[in-house]
Structure 1
């Protein structure tokens, strides 16, 4: 079932779009905030959101670039789009973005159809935001795929109290080995954190249709994610 666009109220005024997809039958279910890559709420992110909904969740992908330019929907197929995406990434305010993630969590929790349990999952930029969802929001669980820059904010790890899962690509072109080691070492003492490493995989190995897509690794990571959410959001 195709999703629909909804309006979410920002905590500091204004509003932004969220792409909302319903679970089969549209009944009572937990929620998941799906956090975008650097290409906006594009066709890939909408398909991912639909997929989480098909697994039994109310899934919502918020437009986290709305403060820069609302409605960004670009692809990873041309150099021009990559340059635009990197430009958006550089302008992105993570603090404000996390306020918008928190507002999306609240919006899902406020739905009569939501059980009240809400998780967060993100990819690339969203993978970093998934870590912050665990350190800065009241999300009930969070999953990050190949998050960039987590090694620079490990001081926030002391705030983690809910389950967090990170998927790390061992050959990630945006996260060098020393950064990966710092993340693994820095989170090793947290009993609510689980980290999976995918040998020989590059950044965005789970982006279907992407240059580095690997079906076996993606299926493995996705199965772990769904099991994690079904347990953590029960």
Structure 2
């Protein structure tokens, strides 16, 4: 299945697609899954399905809809990877956050689920941080988020729990950026920083050459425990 529903924008002037995976029975909470630069592809949909199996309503909004609705790309194909980077360069993260906020409203209003968490990867990891600083999300997790060190002036606005998974050999988040993240966020009681020694960007992707099975399993277990604690 591809995108399965439409969500209205905050101004109600348009709408964007999203993939929704529903659990059996009443959801215990909702998880908003924030895409990488590769769109709502097979890997993101699998992450949604995995959360649904754990009892959550899972929603992955198409955040590139203003550029190319429904795009699906992957890392291991060079041409598709280059297209993904082009989309990222043209993408507006501030508008992404508006769409994430609209998705939170849709979950709480249309689906009648009060507790909402978010988990994001790569670009989505950056957006997870921005979601924690700019929305009333209940709990947030970011995997290998890029450019977070450039937004540390927003950390004072984090009012709900945030967990960040940081691979120390991330080619897109150099050691200096990681050091700034630790220096800027370690004293924030709402933030948990977890380092993964020697691992690179994308280690928890669902498929492809970047995945590290042991580390991905560990990070995903920590994320599941985090959401159990903070979403109930």
TM-score of the two chains, using structure 1 as the length reference: 0.95
1:54 Cα deviation (Å)? Answer: 1.1
SS of residue paired to 2:187: coil
SS of residue matched to 2:84: helix
Provide the C-alpha distance between the structure 2 equivalents of 1:233 and 1:109, rounded to a whole number of angstroms.
14
Q: Deviations over 1:116-168 (max 9, x none)?
A: 00011000000000001100011000000000000000000010010000000
Residue 39 of structure 1 contacts residue 75 of structure 1 at CA under 8 Å; is this kept in 2?
A: yes
1:124–1:112 CA distance, 2 compared to 1 (3 A): closer
Indicate if the aligned counterparts of 1:204 and 1:210 stay in contact, CA closer than 8 A.
no
Residue 44 of structure 1 is matched in structure 2 by 43
Aligned residues: 231
Does the Cα contact within 8 Å between 1:3 and 1:21 map onto a contact in 2? no
- Correspondence 1:130 to 2:131: no
Q: Distance in 2 between matches of 1:3 and 1:29?
A: 24
Corresponding residue for 1:201? 199
Q: Secondary structure at the match of 1:29?
A: coil
State the distance in 2 between where 1:3 and 1:80 align: 22
Q: Which runs of 4+ in 1 moved over 3 A?
A: none
Shift in Å, 1:78: 1.4
Task: State TM-score, norm by structure 2.
Answer: 0.96
After TM superposition, give the deviation of residue 28 of structure 1 in Å. 3.4
8 Å CA contact 1:123–1:144 kept in 2: the answer is: yes
CA distances 1:181-233 after superposition (whole Å, capped 9, x unpaired) = 10111001110110100011100000132222111100100000001001111
Q: Distance in 1 between matches of 2:63 and 2:207?
A: 23
Contact 1:32 1:120 in 2 (8 A): yes
CA displacement at 1:69 relative to structure 2:
1.2
Q: Which runs of 5+ in 2 are unaligned?
A: none
* Cα distance in 2 between the residues matched to 1:233 and 1:208: 24
Q: CA deviation at 1:74?
A: 1.5
Partner of 2:71: 72
**1:156: which partner in 2?**
154
* Matching residue of 1:99: 98
- After alignment, is 72-81 or 121-130 more displaced? 72-81
Among candidates 220, 223, 226, match of residue 225 of structure 1: 223
Aligned equivalent of 1:7 = 6
1:109 to partner: Cα distance: 1.0
